[in-house]
Structure 1
Amino acid sequence: MNSQKVLTQLFAKLQDFLTKIAKICQSNGIIFALTMGVLSRSIILLTFFAIAFFSPVSSQWGWEVFSAWDSPLYQIIATSGYEVINQTEPGGNVAFFPLFPLLIRGLMNLGLPFEVAGVLINNLAFFGALILLYQWVEITNNSQAARWATAILAWCPLSIFGTVIYTEGLFLFLSIAALKAFDLEKYPQVILWGSLATATRITGIALIPAFLITAWQKRKPAIAYLSGLLSGCGLLFYSLYCWIKFNNPIAFITVQHTQWQRQTGFDSQGWLKMIMQILIGSQNWKKGTIVDPWHPFLVIILAIIGYLLWRYRDQLGEVKFDYSFCFLLFILWLIAGDPLLNTSIILGSGYLLWYLRYELSLVAVNYGFCALGLLLASGGTISLSRLAYGIVSVSLALGVMLSHHRRWGYVTLGFFTLLLISFSVRFAQHLWVA
């Protein structure tokens, strides 16, 4: 009886402590952003740790667990520079913009190993991105929308690329800083952060038309147009480098087609493949005939159930309808897998930006559409979901939407946590993610 009383008191104290922490986080944006970052990164690190010790695929634990797929390419750039084939032809790693490997090289010159330098830069930038996003959305919307947008950015399963040796964290930080500066009319900062963003990855190019279109729509002064153009200095300098070294100012685009086998323009076949994989299944699409009838049958059943749920949503009530529809989407994900995620992220992002266009910052909406358009015209469907995550307007739009529908928000965060663990397992085992 005494032990039960003690446990009850301990539980009550713990609940009070957690309530106080929640209140502090809600009242302080920086603490909230850091808390979201620490908790979500802890999930990734614990998963990496578990895989290293319990999975037969990974036999060791160390900094190398953060390096896979594109990471070694950044290492080559940081240590040896860009690859040259036959003296003048650009190698495949020219597709990767220079700022991230340059920063890594700077820390390596101070004595840090590549893995440590890459992880340090990306993670510090990612935490900075969370803080900047909260502050920006609090200004343009409100603190509730800021909390949800920050939580989405932190807990999105693709945020694993803000922890491993990739450019997601750095690019998010620089692009958010540039967009926020433009909203606040701090044009010298727009030039600085925009130039660094366009020197980090090719999707930074979308900042330039976003700034120019917004300046025209809001009838901004000439300095706004000038800062929008000068925000592309990072791209300009990299183009000059490619021109001098490879006699090709757009070598970073050329290698996408010659080395990475991307098509030119919209990849209709890639999109058709993803949609058919959702509807009839990967095996049926690969074989060109129905070898697995269960997949299309289950998709049809789910479509019928979804229609009935929508048809009788008033009779079901809001709570039952929401949870039933969420469960239905979860089952569909179990059936369709990654093709469903990749397709819904791109199409859903475009819809959200349009639906919430009057609630979001105008420059964020324009940047979102320009960046999504750039992805659609990139000539491929590989890594589209990861690249879409690097467009901060997507997380911003989803966060604002969920701030109006908290029930959906909590379900979304729960699903994101599950996927974050799954993606962490796959990355730790050097399996393809996104």
Structure 2
Amino acid sequence: MKSFDASVRYALIIFLATRILLSMWAILILALRPLPAEPDETLRPYLGQNELRNGASGLLLGPWQRFDTMRYLSIANSGYEGVENSVFPPLYPMTIRTIGWIFERIMPVSSGNLLAAIIISNLAFLGSLILLYRITAQERDDSTAKRSVAYLAIFPTAFFLLAAYTESLFLLLALVAIWAARKDRFWPAGVAGLLASLTRLTGWVLVVPLGYEYARQKTFNWRLIRLDVIAITLPLLGALGFLVYRLLVGLPNIDLIYRTYWYQTTGIPGLDLITALRQMMAGGAAFRLFFDFFCAILLIVTTVVAFRRLGVTFGLYSTMLLLFMLLPVSELKPLYSFSRYTLVFYPTFILMAIAGRNPWANRLIAYPSIALYLYFSGQFFMWGWVA
């Protein structure tokens, strides 16, 4: 009970600190660099939705009307009318629509849905911090748990966990799935995995760590298998269900959409690393590509280390996610959004927290993270692409 109380208390402190900081930072950034008054769907694609500029909604919600957020809101408003949005699974937009319906009675639809989207992601972020603390404390100790939570919260792209994006919801569901499985509660684990795959297609990879954890707890003896083994297949069934739905309603092949709108094709895992390295060495590459490359190397290293320091279940989780992320290749946009996808690799943050026991390592992690956190979030608020 003491660990639970500590996890909630510390997570709340970190959550409130980052939530208040980002709100104030967004107000300051846009006061110093106001957005142009004239619309520009190329540079600032609101996708036909109302821009929030005035009053409290303009001050507190407007800065979060950015990039993929507008796609989730578009799906919440009108489904998959825009076929380019049909690569996004439905759970997050459906939840936005459900909660937004309540707010529509007291505010415009555009404000209500965005507020709902932010509430969902923020609550999921808070839940993720609590669970990450508890998992880390169980594997190590409370001081390591505190560092893992802090390092996640100040990671340079961690502002996406408070934005109307799916990162925080996916992270929470993945943590619940692994946490429940480790406690021999495979039906809750499977349901969480199912919901994760309906949040992001990558959720299907949870089948592998859940399957291993099931086999481990049954001492790898097939005679001990029970009906609950079905639960570990639920993440895969969620992803397949979404793909079948797309097929039944006549949406274009998902690979075609990625190729047409995101300039990505499926290729050899890791080929994008070579493309990124070539572009960086040629000169003129954006700083974010260097950071994406750094994140890719960080994930590769920590995934290997996770097997030895944290166990096979954690290692398999990171391995499967990493392989799935390394499949897309693009000459135009290599390592697309890698720094944002890093946020769901919670074993990486546990390993960073273990390393952070050394005061110099702690400073080396914390100081650059905070500086880049402010830089990247400022870029995001000004409609600058980050990840």
The TM-score with structure 2 as length reference comes to: 0.83
Deviation string, structure 1 residues 212-248 (Cα, Å, up to 9, x no partner): 2444456355356432212333223312321321277
How far has the Cα of 1:414 moved from its partner? Answer: 1.6
Amino acid at match of 2:264: R
Is the CA contact (8 Å cut-off) linking 2:197 and 2:238 kept in structure 1?
A: yes
Q: Could you tell me which residue of structure 2 aligns to residue 382 of structure 1?
A: 336
1:347 aligns with 2:291: no
Q: Distance in 1 between matches of 2:256 and 2:229?
A: 29
SS in 1 for 2:265: coil
Q: Could you tell me which residue of structure 2 aligns to residue 159 of structure 1?
A: 158
Deviation string, structure 1 residues 60-81 (Cα, Å, up to 9, x no partner): 4341211211111111110100
Q: Distance in 2 between matches of 1:233 and 1:37?
A: 33
1:407 aligns with 2:360: yes
Is the CA contact (8 Å cut-off) linking 1:95 and 1:253 kept in structure 2?
A: no
Q: Could you tell me which residue of structure 1 aligns to residue 93 of structure 2?
A: 101
The answer to which of 195-204 and 348-357 deviates more is: 348-357
Q: Could you tell me which residue of structure 2 aligns to residue 392 of structure 1?
A: 346
Q: Could you tell me which residue of structure 1 aligns to residue 27 of structure 2?
A: 49
1:265 aligns with 2:267: yes
How far has the Cα of 1:148 moved from its partner? Answer: 1.5
Change (3 A) 1:235 1:269: closer
Change (3 A) 1:279 1:254: closer
Q: Distance in 1 between matches of 2:205 and 2:281?
A: 32
Which has the larger Rg? 1
Unaligned runs of 5+ residues in structure 1 are: 1-23, 85-90, 284-335
How far has the Cα of 1:277 moved from its partner? Answer: 4.2
Amino acid at match of 1:222: I
Is the CA contact (8 Å cut-off) linking 2:23 and 2:60 kept in structure 1?
A: no
How far has the Cα of 1:98 moved from its partner? Answer: 0.6
1:421 aligns with 2:374: yes
Q: Could you tell me which residue of structure 2 aligns to residue 357 of structure 1?
A: 307
Change (3 A) 1:395 1:178: same
Query: Residue 36 of structure 1 is aligned with which of 14, 25, 40?
Result: 14
Q: Could you tell me which residue of structure 2 aligns to residue 171 of structure 1?
A: 170
Q: Could you tell me which residue of structure 2 aligns to residue 294 of structure 1?
A: none
Q: Could you tell me which residue of structure 2 aligns to residue 231 of structure 1?
A: 235
Change (3 A) 1:271 1:359: closer
Amino acid at match of 2:343: Y
Q: Distance in 2 between matches of 1:148 and 1:362?
A: 22
SS in 2 for 1:110: helix
Amino acid at match of 1:255: I
Q: Distance in 2 between matches of 1:416 and 1:244?
A: 45
Is the CA contact (8 Å cut-off) linking 2:266 and 2:328 kept in structure 1?
A: yes
Is the CA contact (8 Å cut-off) linking 2:96 and 2:117 kept in structure 1?
A: yes
Amino acid at match of 2:356: L
Is the CA contact (8 Å cut-off) linking 2:355 and 2:361 kept in structure 1?
A: no
Change (3 A) 1:179 1:367: same
Change (3 A) 1:26 1:337: farther
Change (3 A) 1:268 1:360: closer
Q: Could you tell me which residue of structure 2 aligns to residue 274 of structure 1?
A: 276
Q: Distance in 2 between matches of 1:99 and 1:276?
A: 38
Q: Could you tell me which residue of structure 2 aligns to residue 180 of structure 1?
A: 179
Q: Distance in 2 between matches of 1:32 and 1:247?
A: 45
Q: CA RMSD in A?
A: 2.5
